[in-house]
Structure 1
Amino acid sequence: MIERVVENGSNKIEQLAQFLCWRTIMPISQGAYTLRHRFGFLIASVGSGLMMASASAPSPFYPVLQREVGFSDVAMTAIFAVYAIVLLMTLLTGGSSSDHVGRRPVLSLGFLLLAIFAILFETATSSAGLIAARALQGVACAFLLSTLSAAIVDLEPPDRPGLAAICNSVIPLLGLAAGTLASGIVMEHAVYPKIDVFNGIGIISVTLSAAVWLLPETSPRHEGLLKALRPRLGIPVSARSTFWQCAPAIVAGWATGGLYLSLGAPIMSSIFGSHSYLLQAGVVTALSGAGAAACFFARAQDPHKILVYGTSALAAGTIVTLVAMELRSFPVYILALTLAGTGFGTCFYGSLRSIVPLVSASERGELFASIFTLSYLAFGVPVVLAGAFIPLIGLHTTVSVYGALIVLMAATAGLLRQRNLRCG
């Protein structure tokens, strides 16, 4: 049971996820909203997309780096997973820092660290160097993930209520899709793609690190930072039953993202025989892009229906992807992956919309810390285990077992939701 974990990410984690679904923070009045606020909202939204693009941009490079540097499958999955694990630890301890020192300093530091990550990853010549770069990226993205979400909420245009909700749910998935797609295109055509991609991330990050100082400060400094760094959290009693009913859907969705972000390119080259960087990148683009579109179109739907659809689509899509791998049918694989992607996005979106209304405002921090603890564990840990099994049973068998577990969890979540609806 995730009963006592970390309170600290609570404030920022709460703000991160609150606006995926609804509005709870008082907006800036129309008269007080200036061009500077609107510019700040745009910068925060662009920054959110860049942050998530930086998370997926390395994925198409993994097979190339594995050949050039010469590291094992276990090391390859560790390079991916260390990002998620370090991000989680930082989020849960430093996630609320912008509440105490202000949004702008934390955003500026986060983008500066992201620029340093880009330099380290671009110049790394060993698996240890790549792991160190990804660990630093995890720290940077933890600060940015929490603070950008809060800034988007803070700076939402008063004449566009609900826009922050859409941005905080759709832009991250669009960023994931754009990061891999951009890397694939550059790898297909550029002479030095690694330099081009990560220098680009570094330059944009440095620019944003300076640009955030033009934003209005929406979180005045106040004491309590050291106290906020102490970890503690739990699942409120009122939401505990629904939390565990949704847990298989949350795990299935985030584990799906981890699978294709880490092993999507090797699947394309080893199983389908495609060495096109663009097609390899298209796997994550299809998955994340479909998830973003599904969240956008589902925003007005009942959360129970969203979750039922999400678990069904994820289970069905994953089954068909496994069949497509057996048949070596790439067109069927991409279509099935797109269907699974809609489930990937809506599983998490529907889970949040089902759980969060059950708790009071004072309990949301610890609830969201539990949700994101579960999510990032599902994002990183299964990938490390998969990397350990690949040398023993092969990539194809490992992915098949991984996919079967995703189907099992998604189907379990769907059945639990259907039973709950019938009982209700």
Structure 2
Amino acid sequence: MTTTISPPTESTSRPRLGRGAAFTLIAVIIATFLGASATPTPLYEHYQQLWGFSSLASTLVFGIYALALLATLLTAGSLSDHIGRRPVLLGALALEAVSLALFASADGLTILLIARVVQGVATGAAISALGSALIDLERTPGRGSIINSVAPTVGLAVGAVGSSLISEHLPRPTSTVYLVLLVLVVLEILGVWAAPETSGGRPGAWQSLRPTLAVPREARTMIALTAPCLIAVWALGGFYLSLGPALARNALDVHSSLIGAIMVATLTGFGAAAVLTFRKLGGRTVMLIGTTALVLGVAVTLIGAETSSAVLILVGTAVAGIGFGAGFQGTILTVMPLAENHERAGLLSTVYVIAYLANSLPALLAGYLVGKVGLVDTTRGYGALVMVLAAAALIGLLVTGERKVEAVSVSE
């Protein structure tokens, strides 16, 4: 069965956002989705006090979100290439609003897990459509890819710190932050309703829902070359978002949700700064910087955890954050230009499938191991894994050579 999609028609009575305003709106929505995903991280201590939360429970709450996101990416990741960006984004934002309402009313682990599943589905449906819309709307070539790398890291930082501050200084710490986000999402729904459609659509919408990884032939070699860097980056992010607060409290003996939020914000904030700083460099150069920074940053963080040094932990996290941002940016810069307009959402969804597998599975394993071998030994093993992956990516880039990587970017 083939579905024929007609070019979208815009209602003359519907308010219209200009191209520049729509570009900004999409960037804000990306930051909102990723910020909302980081919101529970500083609240784990509150959940522990209320419901007896364990390290395994915190990684489960994080991991089930990532797995739901992955399942959605595999089925609906390229849907916006077929039916348009706006319908997909409106549906995803509506689901995000439902998840936030569930978070705000959660009275135990079960509702929290359900909320995370709904949030994962919403984010999985939206993320490739959002990234593709940015590139569709960009006026300067490459700007969409840069914002697509910056907005998630900014969102993670703001979400973590904002959640911590709201939960510590406003009443009802486990619900107020979600109600604030709910209001923002409702406003974004209105904005998307007024935004122009950027994809005319094409046949095959039903077929696109079959679980698949859509990688254009021209991008396959580059995906293989960048995968170790991508895995290292997102595995590190998964650790900070699930067990980072516990590591900070254990190493520094500080019992405040803000310390965990500061660690997440340091990692992602320096990641965003790295994207902006290296935005004019080539993708291979950016990945070389990123993989080197990952190895050095994780090593320093581990030394800080062993010696209970707040300075070393924060410095190591900052350096690792540079690797976090540069590693992801380098992947986007080298991979996304290899896709045609109608292939962008499918390719970007594949990138995020790899990223969120790396983001969730190691974190889930780490949560299990904490109960078996302890947080300190788990952190050592996790850090070693990230450094090995980053070193493998670095060696691969050096061995491959710049000319070969450039050749892959223009032909397969």
TM range (shorter): 0.7 to 0.9
Report the counterpart of residue 409 of structure 2 in structure 1: none
SS at 2:196's partner residue?
coil
SS at 2:171's partner residue?
coil
SS at 1:217's partner residue?
coil
What per-residue deviation string (whole Å, max 9, x for no partner) do you get for residues 350-370 of structure 1? 234345567788877765454
Is the contact between residue 80 and residue 129 of structure 2 (CA under 8 Å) also seen in structure 1?
A: yes
The CA distance in 2 between the partners of 1:85 and 1:260, in whole Å, is: 17
Is the contact between residue 97 and residue 225 of structure 1 (CA under 8 Å) also seen in structure 2?
A: yes
The CA distance in 2 between the partners of 1:369 and 1:35, in whole Å, is: 26
Q: Do the aligned partners of residues 226 and 290 (structure 1) sit closer, same or farther apart at CA in structure 2, a change above 3 Å counting?
A: same
Q: Do the aligned partners of residues 189 and 44 (structure 1) sit closer, same or farther apart at CA in structure 2, a change above 3 Å counting?
A: same
Is the contact between residue 274 and residue 280 of structure 1 (CA under 8 Å) also seen in structure 2?
A: no
**1:95-134 pair list within 5 angstroms:** 95-134=77-116
The CA distance in 2 between the partners of 1:112 and 1:363, in whole Å, is: 25
Report the counterpart of residue 48 of structure 1 in structure 2: 30
Q: Which amino acid aligns with 1:95?
A: G
The CA distance in 2 between the partners of 1:322 and 1:269, in whole Å, is: 14
Q: Which moved more, 1:214-223 or 1:412-421?
A: 214-223
Q: Which amino acid aligns with 2:147?
A: C
The CA distance in 1 between the partners of 2:346 and 2:147, in whole Å, is: 23
Would you say 1:83 and 2:65 are equivalent positions? yes
Q: Equivalent pairs: percent with the same residue?
A: 37
Structure 2: runs of 5 or more not aligned:
1-15, 405-412
Instruction: Give, in angstroms, the shift of residue 299 of structure 1.
Output: 1.4
Q: Which amino acid aligns with 1:229?
A: L
Q: 1:418 aligns with which of 382, 398, 405?
A: 398
**1:32-181 pair list within 5 angstroms:** 36-156=18-138, 158=139, 160-181=140-161
Q: Do the aligned partners of residues 227 and 236 (structure 1) sit closer, same or farther apart at CA in structure 2, a change above 3 Å counting?
A: closer
Q: Which amino acid aligns with 2:144?
A: A
Report the counterpart of residue 410 of structure 2 in structure 1: none
What per-residue deviation string (whole Å, max 9, x for no partner) do you get for residues 118-149 of structure 1? 11112112222111100000111122212222
What per-residue deviation string (whole Å, max 9, x for no partner) do you get for residues 277-330 of structure 1? 222201110000111110111111122221111111000100000000011001
Report the counterpart of residue 11 of structure 1 in structure 2: none
**1:12-411 pair list within 5 angstroms:** 36-156=18-138, 158=139, 160-220=140-200, 223-233=203-213, 240=220, 242-355=222-335, 368-411=348-391
Q: Which amino acid aligns with 1:291?
A: G
Q: Do the aligned partners of residues 414 and 99 (structure 1) sit closer, same or farther apart at CA in structure 2, a change above 3 Å counting?
A: closer
The CA distance in 1 between the partners of 2:391 and 2:353, in whole Å, is: 22
Instruction: Give, in angstroms, the shift of residue 185 of structure 1.
Output: 1.4
Q: Do the aligned partners of residues 196 and 405 (structure 1) sit closer, same or farther apart at CA in structure 2, a change above 3 Å counting?
A: same
What per-residue deviation string (whole Å, max 9, x for no partner) do you get for residues 342-395 of structure 1? 001111222343455677888777654543322111000001101111111111
SS at 1:194's partner residue?
coil
Q: Do the aligned partners of residues 420 and 357 (structure 1) sit closer, same or farther apart at CA in structure 2, a change above 3 Å counting?
A: farther
What per-residue deviation string (whole Å, max 9, x for no partner) do you get for residues 61-102 of structure 1? 123212311243222211101111111110121123333333
Instruction: Give, in angstroms, the shift of residue 198 of structure 1.
Output: 0.4
Instruction: Give, in angstroms, the shift of residue 397 of structure 1.
Output: 1.0
Q: Do the aligned partners of residues 419 and 181 (structure 1) sit closer, same or farther apart at CA in structure 2, a change above 3 Å counting?
A: same
Instruction: Give, in angstroms, the shift of residue 240 of structure 1.
Output: 5.0
Report the counterpart of residue 5 of structure 2 in structure 1: none
Q: Do the aligned partners of residues 365 and 213 (structure 1) sit closer, same or farther apart at CA in structure 2, a change above 3 Å counting?
A: closer
Report the counterpart of residue 407 of structure 2 in structure 1: none
The CA distance in 1 between the partners of 2:328 and 2:297, in whole Å, is: 16
Is the contact between residue 109 and residue 209 of structure 1 (CA under 8 Å) also seen in structure 2?
A: no
Q: Which amino acid aligns with 2:89?
A: L
Is the contact between residue 187 and residue 278 of structure 1 (CA under 8 Å) also seen in structure 2?
A: no
Q: Which amino acid aligns with 1:37?
A: R
The CA distance in 2 between the partners of 1:40 and 1:366, in whole Å, is: 22
The CA distance in 2 between the partners of 1:242 and 1:218, in whole Å, is: 27
The CA distance in 2 between the partners of 1:405 and 1:50, in whole Å, is: 30
The CA distance in 2 between the partners of 1:346 and 1:274, in whole Å, is: 30
The CA distance in 2 between the partners of 1:41 and 1:419, in whole Å, is: 38
Q: Which amino acid aligns with 2:328?
A: F
Q: Which amino acid aligns with 1:38?
A: G
The CA distance in 2 between the partners of 1:248 and 1:221, in whole Å, is: 33
Instruction: Give, in angstroms, the shift of residue 221 of structure 1.
Output: 5.8
SS at 1:322's partner residue?
helix
Is the contact between residue 284 and residue 402 of structure 2 (CA under 8 Å) also seen in structure 1?
A: no
What per-residue deviation string (whole Å, max 9, x for no partner) do you get for residues 23-82 of structure 1? xxxxxxxxxxx8633332222222121111101111111232123112432222111011
Q: Which amino acid aligns with 2:237?
A: G
SS at 1:271's partner residue?
helix
Is the contact between residue 132 and residue 345 of structure 2 (CA under 8 Å) also seen in structure 1?
A: no
Structure 1: runs of 5 or more not aligned:
1-33
SS at 1:274's partner residue?
coil
Q: Which amino acid aligns with 1:231?
A: P
The CA distance in 2 between the partners of 1:382 and 1:191, in whole Å, is: 35
Report the TM-score, using the length of structure 1 for normalisation.
0.85
The CA distance in 2 between the partners of 1:365 and 1:151, in whole Å, is: 9
The CA distance in 1 between the partners of 2:195 and 2:82, in whole Å, is: 17
RMSD (Å) for aligned C-alpha atoms: 2.4
Q: Do the aligned partners of residues 161 and 350 (structure 1) sit closer, same or farther apart at CA in structure 2, a change above 3 Å counting?
A: closer
Q: Which moved more, 1:45-54 or 1:258-267?
A: 45-54
The CA distance in 2 between the partners of 1:306 and 1:118, in whole Å, is: 36
Report the TM-score, using the length of structure 2 for normalisation.
0.87
Q: Do the aligned partners of residues 136 and 342 (structure 1) sit closer, same or farther apart at CA in structure 2, a change above 3 Å counting?
A: same
